[in-house]
Amino acid sequence: MRLPIRAATCLALIAAVCAPTTPAWSVAAAPEAGAGTTKATEKKPAEQATTKKKKKARPVDCAKVKCIALTFDDGPGKRVGTLLDTLKKHNAKATFFLEGQYVKARPELAKRIAKEGHQLGNHSYRHPDFTKIDEERIRSEIVETQRLVHKLTGKYPTTLRPPYGLYNDKVQQIATELGLPIILWNTTSHDWASRNQDAIYREVLKGARRDSVVLMHDWVDATVDVMPRLLTALKKRGFHVVTVDSLLRGRKLKPGEVWPADATISPEDTPLVQPND
């Protein structure tokens, strides 16, 4: 039996309203969502033609060469501009796990990180311990940062690093709902503790292995200052410094999945207080 037009229309509207929604930044939202770029930032034909004239850097194939990912938490720090200059000079790419409060305070630095092709990650808005706050606040911390980063850069962070690297079933469930894999680390610089260039240099090289994910902090002056020497040393050892996504060799992590599999988290890895204001 055919439904009256009015009744059929009402049922269609109800179905549309009640259908589950997928976050715009989720890897499940669109085939290209892993890049974190929305349709609003897609290039027009004329812009694409201009881009083609530029010589594109060949992507690094981490299946064929030795790669390492430097990841920077708690930023953008005040000296990220200097850090970006160094990364550019050495043709290196990094992953920045951004805090919403500092993205708001330093919007131009956040824009530059995205513009220069580094990977964007979400590190909460105010850096609370997710395992000690309720679900509503966890979601707010993540979503508020997602929206702010996208508003400024045109890109959504596509991964989450919980503050202090701490998570539990509740945090993992929310990350799954929001379509974000959880990225931790398997070696650290202990830069926040030593604040010493030589110590940071030694710690990173000591832990450097193929596919290492290194924890660093871009608000530590010594980290920014030692970076030219460190990148030179890593290159001499045969490493290509790349983003976390490049380490994955095209594999798409599932929402809520924790990576790397050999992640090692210690209370000594991250600071309890962040002098980033």
Catalytic positions, written as ranges: 73, 217
d(CA 111, CA 115): 6
The DSSP call for residue 125 is: S
Please, what is the angle between helix 169-177 and helix 135-153, to 10°? 40
CB atoms within 10 A of CB 233: 15
Residues 176, 135 contacting (CB under 8 angstroms): no
Distance separating the N- and C-terminal Cα atoms of the chain: 67
Beta bridge partners of 75: 98
Residue 106's CB: how many other CB atoms inside 10 A? 20
- The count of other CB atoms within 10 Å of the CB of residue 59 is 8
| Contact between 215 and 70 (Cβ < 8 Å) | no
> Torsion angle, CA of 221/80/185/208, rounded to 10 degrees?
-70
